[in-house]
Each structure stands twice: as C-alpha cells, then as structure tokens.
Structure 1
Amino acid sequence: MGERQIKHYHLFTESTQSKTYLDQMLEIAKRITLFEGRTQTMIPFLTTMRYSRQTSEISGILTPAICLILQGAKKLHLGHEVIDYHAGDYLVSVIDIPASAEIIGATKQSPYIGLRVDFTMEEIATVVMEAGLDFKPKHKKLNTGAYVGTADEGLVESFYRLLKLIEKPNANRYLSSLMKREMIFQLLSGDAGHIFFQQVMMDRQDEGIGKVIAWIKENYAQSITIKELAKLSNMSVSGLHHKFKAVTTLGPVQYQKQLRLYEARRLMLGGAMNVTAAAMQVGYENVSQFSREYRRLFGSSPSKDMKAFEK
C-alpha cells in the first residue's frame, strides 16, 4: 500500500466578482487575525486561520466543517491519499475522519489565510428538507467523508456576506445563522451537494452507525470486537461492516486503528511522547505491531518520522 497518491487541485477559474469578494475577504481576515494559528471570531461557528510560515504535518480529526483558503496553500493527508489545494479552493468534511494537514504555501510577507465554518448534520438535513432538494448523482461512485473543490461564485459570495457581519456586531447575532443556512444551501447546490445528501440519508436510515462512530471516538484506546460494536448498533456483523464502510470508507476496526495511529503521530511529532509511550497511550500493547501498522499507513517508521521532524 506504500506510496501515497497526490492530487493537485487549484482549478480555480474565478469570475471578476468572485475575485473581488476573495480580495475583500482577505483584507478583512488579515485585519481580524493578528496572531498565528486559529482565531475565534465573534460569530461562534466562524474561525479564521493565519500562518506566516510552512508547518509540519499535524494530525487530528476532521469534523463537519467547510474551510476556504483565501491566500496560500495547504496539503491534506487522508490515509494514502494526499491532496494539495490553494487560494479559492475549499475543503468540506461531513463526518469525523482521521486526517492530517500541513501548510505548504505561507511566508511572512504573504501568510496563509483561511476561513472555517463549523456545522452539524442536523443543520444540513434541515436545509435539505425545507428547500425540497433532490439529487441525481453526478458520478457513478459517490465519495463520502470529505471533498475538495473549487469555490463557485455563489459559495464565495455567501462567505463574503458572513464575514462582513463581523463589522456589524449588532446585526451578526440575528443574521449570522441565516447566512450560515445560505452557505449550506450553496454547498448543497454545488459539486459537493451529492456528498451532503448521501450523508443525510445515511444518518436518517442508520442511526446505529452514528452511535458506533461516537463510541469509537470516545474509546479508541480500548479493545472491542466487531461483535460488540454490532450489538451496540443493533445490526448484524456483516450489516454493520457494510454500512459503516459506506459512511466512512473504512471498516469499524480500520477506523479505530486510524484514530489510534493519527493520535499517536500527533503525540510523537508534538514532542509529548516517544514511540513506545505513544503506542501504549493509544491502546497498543505491542510496539512492533504499532510500528508495522504506522509504516503501512504513513509510509515510514515512527522513529524515522520523529527524526525528520526534529531536524
């Protein structure tokens, strides 16, 4: 399973109006994002990001959100797949997915600037139902979990209208939720719409899958069998495996394994623990097994990654 596949996005063919909105958003974001890293705005679900240099790979969990790059570039690692995306591109995730990312385009003179809007699947489902939307898949195979694409004019404008509310404190309390619904509608109407719709349908039909995902997230360091998870979801073993993979692209055991490995990677590269301590912290009893599975997922050994990170 060795080499990761790299996909390069940034197919952004912006209209004049979209370019104007992006430029104006960049100026606003620069004014309100004075420090490195993430800045929480006065709008509860809107975060800005600023990085003045390239970063190392940081592991974590992608949660339901849409992230739009205003300046710079980023690299996303999803298992063996690596995706580069740039200014004018966006990432949307609809479920919790183990992943890692790094800033690859940033300097002090031209820092990476991005926006993030968090949402819930309940909010997506509400817009789907109230707007009476229906979807005919554009692709034979529907990818689930995450999507990287080019922001169209409608989506860019909805981001712009939301960000402008920061300059109107009295209005943002009343209008921000409406702007968020507008943004969700734009997402549903765009190329990523089929992903949202598929996930909404799965959530409605298979509530047990959500229970299993939540349990694994909270207890990823514990040992549990597929039979126990099937019992938790009120499904058969084969039914759970099939539906879980349809939602996350992974089986339950593989999902738990990736959560463990990404968390261990975060602990090691963050300097908190050595290889053995990180392996034990996330639930491994055998360091050799941990190293084998780590290499299989990330393409190199944990000790080699730590040495490279320390340079």
Structure 2
Amino acid sequence: MLEQQFDFRTSSGENNPIHAMELNRILGMTEKIMHTEGRMQTIIPFFSVARYSHQIPMIPGVLTPSFCLILQGTKKLHLGQDIIHYHAGDYLVSVIDLPASAQIIGANKQSPYIGLRIDFTTKEIASVVMEAGINVKPKDKKLNTGAYVGKSDADLLELFIRLLKLIDKPQEAHFLSSLIKREMIFHLLMGEYGHFFLQQVFIDQQGDGIGKAIEWIKQNYSRPFTVEDLAKLTNMSVSALHHKFKAVTTMGPLQYQKQLRLQEARRLMLSGSLNVTTAALEVGYENSSQFSREYRRLFGQSPFKDIKALQKNVAVETLENS
C-alpha cells in the first residue's frame, strides 16, 4: 500500500511566507461568505466551498472530475490501495469518476476544515489543450491513476482570489468566471503534473480502448456483463483490458461496476426516494441479500443503519470532492 504525504510548509525544506500569506488571504475571503457547515454552492455553477468544524470518519464515495484546493485542515483519501494525506495549500485533481473514501482529520470549531472545489469536464480540458497548441498525446505511455495531488503556487492562488472576488458580482461572474476556469486548466496542464491531464484527455478521446470501457460501465452499471463482453466491445484482449483498467481506476471492471452500483443505491436511499429492496433492484441487484452483504462490506454496516446514521450527520455530502 502506497502512502503519500504532502505539506506545503515543508515541501522545499523551508517555509514559504508569500505562499502562506496568499493562502491566508483566500481563507479570509472564503470565511466571509461561508459560515455554515457542509458544502455551499456559490453563484458560479462550477465553484463550491466546503467547511467542517469537526472530524469526519472515512466515508466512501465517488471522485468526479474536479480540482479541489485545501485552505485549512487535513484530508485523508483512500484510492484503491493508495492512502493520500493532503493539507493546506495542496490540491487534488480527479479527471475521471473514481470510487474512493475520504476522511477529515483534526478539524474543530477553532480551526475548521475549509476547501474550494472547481468542477470541470474532460471536454473542457481538451478544448484548452487544442486552443493552447499543447501536444495532446503524453510522452509517457504508462497509464496512471486518474487522480493526483499537487501543490499550489502563487499563480494558481491568484486565480482563486480573482474567482472569489466575483461572488458578489453576478453579471461579472457570468462572463468572467468561465475564463478564469480555463486559465486554471491551462495552469494545471503546464504544471509539474500536466502529463496526467494530457493522458486522461487522450484516453477520453479514443474511440475505443480503456476510455470507452469506463464510459460504457458508467452508462450501463445496472446491466450484467462479463469482462470478455467488455473486451470485445473495446477491441482489447481480456488481459490488456484488465491491466489498463486497473492502472487508471485502481480496480478491475467488475469491481468498478459494483462500487458504482452501491454508491448510486446509497444516494437513492439517502434521498428518501427508495427503500433497501427497491434501491437494490434499481441499480441491478436481483438478490437483496447479496446487495446487503456487499453494501456492508463497502460501507461498514447494513443499508438501514448506514442511511440512518448519515441522515443524522451534517456530512451527508460526499467528502471526496470538497
């Protein structure tokens, strides 16, 4: 199991007072607009703020394409066999849907966890790549997991400052926010981990192969299938499909399907629209007992107890992208 530790205060062997000052400035701007618990959607459709004033235990969920910056606090992320800790000044980028679990550590009323989130799509990334004339095909042909942690710099923090200044200016926000978002994507593409972005754009644009496999499962997770069926659909051998799929998502195709099913069933039950049996059928389970066993294995308790506990918890929102 790989465990990664990130801390901007020691990343270069010494403190960075300018970076810390910019981070504190953003924190101050954020606290002026965010006083409640949980996640708040701003007037900018793709921009949200999260605040938690207490520790939150590990909560399974799904990473969706997004860029998340921690302003204060620490988060622990389980992604496949990897454990990633990231702190104030670190950011997490996810470029495909990835089942994962997240935990907020050490938060309290005096020092709450605060994070910012930008949602994007691979099409938006591809658009920036083409307009900027960046080479789409990555030099490194080795597939990497579709998420990574990096460290913010002054230019990136300045873009967040500009975005936060638009929160109380609806007309300007409507026009300028999307331009700032494109600048952020460009900055990430040109940064140290830009090749991850490029690789995922390349995968997404392929007419067949691993990108098609991931998209097919996302659209058809309630349908039964075999790895052999998926291999034929994507014009790949079974061994190649399994190897590449696991490299990108940290798990095999059937496990990926199972986690998507269970996450969707959890969402349906949490919304109050379906009971356990109906939710199980809705996501493709024919046997409610099997559903309950696999649900308990992923979430740690029975569907009924899990949903009841979540409904009492202010952290009902998924934590992965906060």
Q: With the length of structure 2 as denominator, give the TM-score of the two structures.
A: 0.78
Other-structure match for 2:186:
185
- Tell me by how many angstroms 1:143 deviates: 2.5
Other-structure match for 2:215:
214
Please give the residue correspondences for 1:226-241 in structure 2 after superposition, counting only pairs within 5 Å.
226-233=227-234, 235-241=236-242
Q: 1:73 to 1:246 in 2, by over 3 A?
A: closer
SS in 1 for 2:57: coil
Other-structure match for 1:57:
58
Identity %: 59
Other-structure match for 1:163:
164
Cα distance in 1 for partners of 2:4, 2:279 equals: 30
- Tell me by how many angstroms 1:255 deviates: 1.7
Please give the residue correspondences for 1:35-184 in structure 2 after superposition, counting only pairs within 5 Å.
35-134=36-135, 143-184=144-185
Q: Which amino acid aligns with 1:10?
A: D
Q: 1:105 to 1:190 in 2, by over 3 A?
A: farther
Question: Of 6, 9, 32, which aligns to 1:9?
Answer: 6
Q: Any idea what the Cα deviations from partners look like across 1:121-162, whole Å, max 9, x if unmatched?
A: 011111112212248979895532110121122222222222
Cα distance in 2 for partners of 1:206, 1:196 equals: 18
Kindly indicate whether the alpha-carbon contact (under 8 Å) linking 2:203 and 2:211 is maintained by their aligned counterparts in 1. Answer: no
Kindly indicate whether the alpha-carbon contact (under 8 Å) linking 2:163 and 2:177 is maintained by their aligned counterparts in 1. Answer: yes
Cα distance in 1 for partners of 2:154, 2:210 equals: 35
Q: 1:212 to 1:51 in 2, by over 3 A?
A: same
- Specify which structure has the higher proportion of helix: 1
Q: Which moved more, 1:164-173 or 1:64-73?
A: 164-173
SS in 2 for 1:68: strand
Cα distance in 2 for partners of 1:5, 1:189 equals: 26
SS in 1 for 2:149: strand
Kindly indicate whether the alpha-carbon contact (under 8 Å) linking 1:99 and 1:262 is maintained by their aligned counterparts in 2. Answer: no
Cα distance in 2 for partners of 1:270, 1:292 equals: 20
SS in 1 for 2:48: strand
Q: Which amino acid aligns with 2:4?
A: K
Cα distance in 2 for partners of 1:11, 1:140 equals: 29
Cα distance in 2 for partners of 1:106, 1:273 equals: 33
Kindly indicate whether the alpha-carbon contact (under 8 Å) linking 2:129 and 2:136 is maintained by their aligned counterparts in 1. Answer: no
SS in 1 for 2:70: strand
SS in 2 for 1:57: strand
Cα distance in 2 for partners of 1:138, 1:294 equals: 42
Cα distance in 2 for partners of 1:135, 1:68 equals: 25
Q: Any idea what the Cα deviations from partners look like across 1:10-50, whole Å, max 9, x if unmatched?
A: 24456443322211211121121222111110111101111
Q: Any idea what the Cα deviations from partners look like across 1:37-88, whole Å, max 9, x if unmatched?
A: 1111011110111111111222211111000001111111112322111111
SS in 2 for 1:166: coil
Q: Which moved more, 1:39-48 or 1:140-149?
A: 140-149
Other-structure match for 2:206:
205
Please give the residue correspondences for 1:250-269 in structure 2 after superposition, counting only pairs within 5 Å.
250-260=251-261
Q: Which moved more, 1:172-181 or 1:281-290?
A: 281-290
Q: 1:281 to 1:186 in 2, by over 3 A?
A: same
Kindly indicate whether the alpha-carbon contact (under 8 Å) linking 1:137 and 1:194 is maintained by their aligned counterparts in 2. Answer: yes
Matched, 1:25 2:22: no
Q: 1:92 to 1:245 in 2, by over 3 A?
A: same
Kindly indicate whether the alpha-carbon contact (under 8 Å) linking 2:136 and 2:202 is maintained by their aligned counterparts in 1. Answer: no
Q: Which amino acid aligns with 2:242?
A: H
Cα distance in 2 for partners of 1:112, 1:85 equals: 12
SS in 1 for 2:157: helix
Cα distance in 2 for partners of 1:273, 1:19 equals: 47
Uncovered stretches (5+) of structure 1, i.e. residues with no partner: none
Q: Which moved more, 1:284-293 or 1:216-225?
A: 284-293
